[in-house]
Amino acid sequence: MASDTSQATVQASTSGVAHDGAAHASHGPTGIMRWVVTTNHKEIGSLYLLFSLVMLFVGGSMALVIRTELFQPGLQFIQPEFFNQMTTMHGLIMVFGAIMPAFVGLANWMIPMQIGAPDMALPRLNNFSFWLLPVAFGILLSTLFMEGGGPNFGWTFYAPLSTTYAPPSTSFFIMSIHLAGISSILGAINIIATIFNLRTPGMRLMDMSLFVWTWLITAFLLIAVMPVLAGVVTMMLMDINFGTSFFNAAGGATRCCSSTFSGSLDTRKCTS
Amino acid sequence: MSRLTWAALGAASQPFLTATVQASSINTSSGWNMPVGVTEISREVFGLHMTIFWICVAIAVVVFGVMFYSLIAYRKSKGASAAHFHENTVVEILWTAVPMVILVLMAVPATATLKKMYDTSQADIDILVTGYQWRWRYEYLENDVEFFSNLATPREQIHGTQAKGNNYLVEVDEAMVVPTGQKIRLLLTANDVIHSWWVPDLAVKKDAIPGFVNETWFEVDEPGVYRGQCAELCGSGHAMMPIEVRAVTPEDYAVWLESKRAAAAAEAEGAGREWSMDELMERGEATYATYCAACHQPDGKGVPPAFPALAGEGISVDPGALEDHKQIVLHGRSGTAMAAFGENLSPSEIAAVITYERNAWGNETGDEVQPAEIQAMLESE
């Protein structure tokens, strides 16, 4: 039944032209603008999946560069500096640009259908969440062409390698992490609002499918974690540009602050 | 597959095999398992690893055994039908309790070993280990001996113009030397970014974090050379700051200590006399290759903007900037990767390297810096 309605919706939205007499001629934008301003959860889901696929190829080609160089010991094709940029960008792109958007794309497609909702609870916010991503990753990829190259400190960006000793493009890297983080938070809010408010009448939480449950939990985790990550990269930004000492022991940094990602997402450096 | 094909495959895979053997000589004996190592702790770690490995094997055999037996013996084509029941309190308690008991059983010996690892008391020798981009520095706190340990693998091997040696990228110019049978305590810190001191044969891997001091220890039974690497990404030279620990008999250790003190005394004496330009340039070239070339590059062109060029531009060709040049080499430049070398290199080395930088690669300032000048600068501070 769900697939029937989805097909009908796709046909209605993709044909765009009048299907029901001239009175219903398409009011919406056409061409590329149709995709830019779409609020349809399946179209946005497809955009997410397409974006994820593109990022998979971009990040994957970086992995190929890494493996080509490692094919034999010694330096063959690229220099260590560029190698580190490749490992860092590969990690960031695969985690934030390929895996997460793929999962969000599936959520956009599946959640409304599985709980019997007509669309996501906040369709325009949904559109905005998606379009933040190409901007974020456009900025991130552009750092490769900046003076001094892109981020080269590993995807866990431990300070001070990622602050004092980082290339000048690091502020752009931080900007892109902020944007990707905002995208994730808004997406998570949207998913929670949809699951809590738009379930079909009579559907209790315990009636929901496992997929919807995993996304409900994941959305709460994202809301808990992303602001911490945003705080961490903001501290880096302050250390780099405004002379603060969040990650500088000489300026009074505490032990848990002396590494960035570990300070927020794992406690490895704190316990070592 | 015919014998001939196998032989061809063998020949084709030769470079890979060589690479595998080289890599495995760093950290494993057989190449298939972690090293047993040469300390009491490393043997305990290996024992824990094997114990837990066999526990995992036993669990896998039981779980997959039941699973595959059920799949095959109760398949639909044999007319099996599913049992319809839910909630069995006994089973639920069992599948919670059994893994918990297994985890506790594994945690008991692991915690005992961890406690030993963290017991750094009663050490015989204390060594301060400082990570730099990209070298280690060892300071024997009781014996007034300190030195840098730099990568000794020639550039030609790294760039592939020369055959790679057996200890490719795991050999240094001056190894950490320790006596056997004595407890060595390491105090680890870093000068710039986070590094990690890792020697698999000693079962030691400890982060060196700028501004903090971590402690660890080891005690080697048998003389030998044990190699390791930096284990925390620390920049473009991360693969080029290996660790080499030479364990020798206590008698040989005493001889080594004496030779280090004598060398330090000779170095100090050298600072007092007048050096010729040729002497300065020769010493400067060697010092530059060891300490400066990783960032500023052998041709002095640097990797801007992180590592500025010295050849043909900047302070090294500005006749009025000699004082600035000395200050930067002695004290580093805050907010950049430029380290302070004043406390760590000898006045002779610093004078020679400044002279070299101001006269090599067509930088013809003609400036000549004498070790005595640097000595005086250091003393007046």
**B191 token code pair:** 């000068």
A269 touches chain B (CB under 8 A): yes
> Best interface-test mutation with A: which of B188, B212, B229 has the largest number of A CBs within 10 A?
B212
- Do residue B254 and residue B373 come from a single domain? no
Helices B322-331 and B371-379 cross at an angle (nearest 10°) of 60
Q: Are residues B289 and B236 in the same domain?
A: no
Residues of chain B with pLDDT under 50: 1-28
Q: Give tens-digit pLDDT for B8-27.
A: 444 444 444 333 333 333 44
B293 and B209 in one domain? no
Do B324 and B256 fall into the same domain?
no
How many A-B residue pairs are in contact by the CB < 8 A criterion? 88
Domain with A40 in it: 29-271
Please say if the pLDDT value at position A82 is more than 90.
yes
A72 touches chain B (CB under 8 A): yes
Q: Do B242 and B317 share a domain, yes or no?
A: no
State which residue of chain A sits closest to B15, comparing Cα positions.
A72
> Around Cβ A268, how many Cβ atoms within 10 Å?
13
Rounded-to-integer distance, Cα A125 and Cα A134, Å: 15
**In three state form, how does the secondary structure of chain B look?**
CCHHHHHHHHHHCHHHHHHHHHHHHHHCCCCCCCCCCCEHHHHHHHHHHHHHHHHHHHHHHHHHHHHHHHHHHCCHHHCCCCCCCCCCHHHHHHHHHHHHHHHHHHHHHHHHHHHHHHCCCCCCEEEEEEEECCEEEEEECCCCEEEEECECCCHHHHCCCCCCCCCCCCCECCCEEEECCCCEEEEEEECCCCEEEEEHHHCEEEEECECCCEEEEECECCCEEEEEEECCCCCCCHHHCCEEEEEECHHHHHHHHHHHHHHHHHHHHHCCCCCCHHHHHHHHHHHHHHHHHHHHCCCCCCECCCECCCCCCHHHHCHHHHHHHHHHHHHCCCCCCCCCCCCCCCHHHHHHHHHHHHHCCCCCCCCCCCHHHHHHHHHCC
> Best residue in A86, A90, A164, A260 to probe B by mutation, most B CBs within 10 Å?
A164
The rounded distance, in Å, linking the Cα atoms of B299 and B316 is 14
Query: Which residue among A154, A164, A250 places its CB closest to the CB of B211?
Result: A250
Type of residue numbered B308: P
Q: What is the pLDDT of residue A93?
A: 95
Least Cα separation, residue A15 to chain B (angstroms):
46
Backbone angles phi, psi at A268, to 5 degrees: -55, -50
Residue A216 above 50 pLDDT?
A: yes
Q: Structural domain tally of chain B?
A: 2
Name A243's Cβ contacts closer than 8 Å, sequence gap at least 6: none
R_g of chain B, CA atoms, integer Å:
28
Q: Are residues B259 and B288 in the same domain?
A: no
What's the rounded Cα separation, in Å, for the pair B261 and A133? 61
The CATH number of whichever domain residue B342 belongs to comes to: 1.10.760.10
Nearest-CA neighbor of B322 among B377, B271, B268, B283? B377
Nearest-CA residue of chain A relative to B211? A249
Please answer yes or no on whether B305 and A258 come within 8 Å at the CB atom. Answer: no
Listed range (A29-33, A58-62, B27-31) with the worst mean pLDDT: B27-31
**Quick one: B129 and B228 in the same domain?**
yes
Q: Indicate the range of A1-5, A105-109, B249-253 predicted with least confidence.
A: A1-5
Other Cβ atoms within 10 Å of A49 Cβ, number: 18
From B238, B128, B150, select the one nearest B194 (Cα to Cα): B238
Instruction: Check CB contact under 8 Å for B305 and A73.
Output: no
d(CA A108, CA B91): 38
Give the pLDDT mean for A226-236.
Answer: 92
B304 vs A79: CB contact, 8 Å cut-off? no
Contact (CB, 8 A) for B281 and B355? yes
Last residue in a domain, options B267, B301, B329: B267
Strand, coil or helix: what is A37? Answer: coil
Of the three residues B234, B267, B300, the one that is the final residue of a domain is B267
CATH for A92: 1.20.210.10
Q: Is A250 on the interface with B (CB under 8 A)?
A: yes
Which chain B residue has the Cα nearest residue A86?
Answer: B236
Domain count for chain A, please give it: 1
Q: How many Å apart are CA B149 and CA B260, to the nearest integer?
A: 13
B75 within a domain of the structure (yes/no): no
Residues B135 and B258 in one domain: yes
Q: If phi over 0 gives left and psi between -120 and 50 gives alpha, with beta otherwise, what is residue B118?
A: alpha
Do A147 and B304 count as a contact with CB atoms less than 8 A apart?
yes
Nearest to B210 among A72, A168, A249 (CB): A249
CATH number for the domain including B243?
2.60.40.420
On whether residue A157 sits in a domain, the answer given is yes
Residue B173 resides in a domain:
yes
- Of B232, B267, B302, the position where a domain reaches its end is B267
Q: Flag the least confident range among A41-55, A202-216, B361-375.
A: B361-375
- pTM of the predicted protein model: 0.80
- The answer to whether residue A83 is domain-embedded is yes
Question: What's the longest Cα–Cα distance across chain A?
Answer: 74
When CB atoms are compared, the residue of B160, B209, B306 closest to A74 is B160
Between CA B164 and CA B76 the distance in angstroms is 60
Q: Are residues B153 and B235 in the same domain?
A: yes
User: Which domain covers residue B372, as residue numbers?
Assistant: 271-379
Nearest to B159 among A74, A168, A259 (CB): A74
pLDDT at B286 (0 to 100): 86
The whole-number pLDDT of residue A11 equals: 46
In a domain, B324, yes or no: yes
* Per-residue pLDDT at A12 exceeds 90: no
Query: Do the Cβ atoms of B232 and A158 come within 8 Å?
Result: yes
Res. A249: pLDDT tops 70: yes
Q: Is there a cis peptide before residue A160, judged by omega within 30 degrees of 0?
A: yes
What pLDDT is recorded for position B280?
87
Q: What percent of chain A has pLDDT over 90?
A: 68
Q: Decide if A21 is inside a domain.
A: no
Residue B164 to residue A73, Cβ atoms within 8 A? yes
Identify the contact set of chain B against chain A, taking CB-CB distances under 8 A.
15, 19, 22-23, 133, 157-160, 164, 168-169, 192-194, 206-207, 209-212, 214, 232-240, 303-306, 335-337
Sheet holding B224-230, edge to edge: B176-179, B243-248, B224-230, B195-199, B204-208
- Write the residue in B211, B233, B239 that is nearest to A249 by C-beta: B211
Task: Indicate the residue of B157, B206, B305 with minimum beta-carbon distance to A147.
Answer: B305
* Count of beta carbons in the 10 Å neighbourhood of residue B373: 16
Between these two residues, B25 and A181, which has the higher pLDDT value?
Answer: A181
Q: Are residues B133 and B258 in the same domain?
A: yes
Nearest-CB residue to A84 (from B22, B206, B236): B236
* Chain B touched by A81 (CB under 8 Å): yes
- Overall average pLDDT of the A79-86 stretch: 93
B249 shares a domain with B175: yes
The answer to whether residue A11 sits within a structural domain is no
Over residues A113-137, the mean pLDDT reads 95
Q: Which chain B residues are Cβ-neighbours of A147 within 8 angstroms? A: 304-305
- Do B150 and B258 sit in the same domain of this protein? yes
Q: Do B209 and A73 touch (CB under 8 A)?
A: no
Q: Helices (H) and strands (E) in chain A — how many of each?
A: 10, 0
Establish if B74 belongs to a structural domain.
no
The CA distance from A133 to the nearest CA of chain B, in Å, is 28
CB contact under 8 A, A158 and B194: yes
Query: Looking at the domain assignment, is residue A24 inside a domain?
Result: no
The residue-averaged pLDDT of A182-204 equals 95
